[in-house]
Every structure is written in structure tokens, then in C-alpha cells.
Chain A
Amino acid sequence: MGFSDFFKKKGTGSIAKDRLKLVLVSDRAGCSPEIMEQIKNDIIAVISKYIEIDLEGLDIKITQMESESNNGSVPALFANIPIKDLKSPKK
């Protein structure tokens, strides 16, 4: 859970709601944890060619986002990839 949850109302009811929203997005997308793991590994492989990233802090998930064009929320791939060091072209 991100720091934004800190400001939300307390109580386990809202925790339940947030967890449900996340689990239902991946349920509905039919995206299995195995596929998510593959996507994650591929993203790491590509980005690591250019940037040194913090694998510990890496977070990739499917989530809901407000759509800009049509009102309502759409599923989105969310990736939070902390950068350790920008690699110099020659290393």
C-alpha cells in the first residue's frame, strides 16, 4: 500500500475495500500471478540495460485509474521503479 492510504479513513472496512478493488482488477483482467511475474522480469531486463534500478523497492501491479477520455476507471499497469543510479552509457 502506498503512502496515500495513510490519509484515508481508518478502519479495517476500508482496508477490505482497497484489497478487494485490487484483487478484482486482476481477477477481471484474467491476469495470473505467473504472467505478472513474467511482465515484471521483462520490464526489469529492459530497464536495467539503461538504468540501475532498486529491485527491492520495485512494485508492479494492475490497478484502476481514472480514464481521461471517457469518465470512469480503466485498468492500468502500475509500475513503481526506484532508480539507484543512472548508468553512464559506457560502464
Chain B
Amino acid sequence: MGEVIVVTSGKGGVGKTTTTANVGTGLAMLDKKVVLIDTDIGLRNLDVIMGLENRIVYNLVDVIEGTCRIRNALIKDKRYPNLYLLPSAQTRDKNAVTPEQMRKLADELRDEFDYIIMDCPAGIEQGFKNAIAGADRALVVTTPEVSAVRDADRIIGLLEANEMKQTHLIVNRIRMDMVKRGDMMSSDDVCEILAIDLIGIVPDDESIVISANQGEPLVGNESLAGRAYLNICKRILGEEVPFLDLDEKQSIFGKLFGRRKK
């Protein structure tokens, strides 16, 4: 029986789609059968981040409306044998789908896949409700900025109100140089404010931009971000993985992990 995970944030541009692509690809690398669903109807992005934009025939709305069968709409990623994408529709709007339909779709996919990962649109309206409807677990992505953290707090409240079973935090785009000189909140600070469990810290890394340019998720490669994403995947699978030391000299993240273990 597969698990449905929604990647959400409230604020736009904090890295939901990048997180979805890398976590999904990473889980597939760890031999799990994974389907990524882009639920951002009208603003489809996950396909280009995954580098699968030229292979789209059918989309999420086609599946929901019964124009095609699920298996016809799923794009198989040739780089990984266990990875599939269900792209969003570009020419429709968010009201083309209801939360009940999304829940039904997720439940149908549970039999065949280990992980069904929903890439949630920004905002708290219909698209958000659709994306979280069938989910067992939420990954809340934020950056160490006041606006992103505030929106994440709102999202966490809404997830609680919708009785989400598990909610974990990913702090994205940490810049250790700025944290060190006191000009950026640390992942510790963000975690303390939001008061939910941290599952990943991803550094602000040039290689993310390069990977997006190429349409190839960087999870699992030697970059710090690539390693951070693979660690998130392992933690999703229940492994205890220490947080990466993003700053070898001062080891703020080692300190953070030590504190969390108490």
C-alpha cells in the first residue's frame, strides 16, 4: 500500500517543485516505485524541472475527466526504472478538479506505487485543497525569510485543521555565510518558530539552477544540495541520518542535530 506525500509551502518560489522532483527521483533511486503528480493546474512546471516536457500526451485533468486511462497519462522517466510523472494541464484552471476526485485518484495509485508525491501550487485556495486531499504526509518547504516562514505557519495550521497525519519541515536555501554573520535565520531558528519536526536542510546551491537548466534532478550527486535531498529521502524511508554539516568549521548543523536528539 503506497504512501501519498504532498509537498507544500504557502508562498510561491521557495522550492516546492524542485523538492518534489528531487525527493521523488531520490526515492526512485532507492528502489521505490514513485509517481510524481503536478497538481498546479494552469501553471505546469514539474515537467520541465524533470526534463520530461516533450513527452506529454495526456494530463491530470484528462485522467480526472476520464478522457484517458491513468496508465496512458503517466510518463515513464527513462533514466530511472521506477519513476513516473503525471503532468498537470496547462490550459485549464484549478476548479477543473475537486478534492474528492484527487483523493480517489491517489487511492487508485496506492496499489501500484510505493510513493505518490503531489506537487502543490502556491496559495491556500482550491489547488492547495486538491493537493492535500488524499495525502498521508506533508512536507512543508520554507526558506529562512519572514514571508516564507509566516506562510509556512499558516499552511501548518491548515494541515492540522485537515487532520494531516504527519507534517515535516524542509528548510531550503540556507546560506551558511549569512547565518554565520547573523544576517539569516538558521534552520534551528525556523524550526523553533514553526515547532514541527525538521526532515531536511538544503543549502542555497548554484547546482540547483544548473540542474533545472538541464532538466535533470541533482539528488544523489556530489553537490551539497544533492546530498541533502538524498538524506531527506532516506529519512522518509525511516532511516536515521544525521543532518549534513553545511559548514565544516563551525558545525552549526551538528549542534542542531545533537540538540534534537535529546
A residues contacting B by CB (< 8 A) are 9-14, 16-17, 19-21, 23-24, 27-28
Contacts and interface: CB of A to CB of B under 8 A. Distances in A.
Given A13-B182, A21-B193, A27-B153, 15 more contacts: A9-B182, A12-B182, A12-B183, A13-B144, A13-B189, A14-B182, A16-B146, A16-B185, A17-B189, A19-B146, A20-B185, A23-B150, A24-B153, A27-B150, A28-B153
7 contacts: A10-B182, A12-B182, A13-B178, A13-B179, A13-B183, A16-B146, A24-B150
Nearest to B193: A20
Contacts of B183: 11-13
Nearest to A30: B157
A13 to B, nearest CB: 5
Contacts, number: 42
Q: Classify the interface of chain B: helix, strand, loop or mixed.
A: helix
B227 interface: no
Given A13-B179, A16-B145, A19-B146, A24 B193 contact: yes
Interface of B: 144-146, 149-150, 153-154, 157, 178-179, 181-186, 189, 193
A59 B146 CA distance: 23
Contact of A17 (B157, B181, B185): B185
Contacts of A17: 185, 189, 193
Contacts of A28: 153, 157
Contacts of B145: 16
Interface centre among B144, B150, B154, B185 (most CB of A within 10 A): B185
The 3 residue pairs across chains A and B that have the minimum distance between CB atoms? A11-B182, A12-B183, A13-B185
A13 B186 CA distance: 8
Nearest to A11: B182
Nearest to A24: B153
Contacts of A24: 150, 153, 193
A14 B185 CA distance: 7
A13 B179 CA distance: 7
Contacts of B149: 20
Contacts of B154: 27
A27 B153 CA distance: 9
Contact of A20 (B146, B179, B184): B146
A20 B150 contact: yes
Interface centre among A14, A19, A20, A21 (most CB of B within 10 A): A20
Given A17-B189, A21-B193, A28-B153, A11 B146 contact: no
Nearest to A9: B182
Contacts of B185: 13, 16-17, 20
A21 B178 CA distance: 20
Nearest to A12: B183
Given A19-B146, A20-B146, A24-B193, A13 B153 contact: no
